[in-house]
Amino acid sequence: MLSGRPRTVRRVTAGATKPEQVEENAKAEAWKMNEDDLAEIDRITLEAIQ
């Protein structure tokens, strides 16, 4: 399902109340989905629509 989509996260949930949360949100920019991540998203999505 999601195999052809970009493997980057474009957003994080705003609303950090601590500097550590801002740092963690900034680190998310470098995270890339792998095949296992995509398969898990497909599995969850398919379960939700059935």
Of residues 8 and 31, more confidently modeled: 31
- Cα separation values, 39 from 8, 14, 15, 45, Å: 15, 27, 29, 10
pLDDT of residue 3: 56
* Mean model confidence pLDDT for the chain: 79
Note the pLDDT tens digit of each residue in 9-20.
Answer: 566 567 788 999
Is the pTM higher than 0.85? no
pLDDT of residue 43: 92
Q: How far apart are CA 23 and CA 49, in angstroms?
A: 35
pLDDT of residue 48: 84
Q: What token pair was written down for 26?
A: 């900034």
pLDDT of residue 47: 86
Single-letter amino acid, residue 4: G
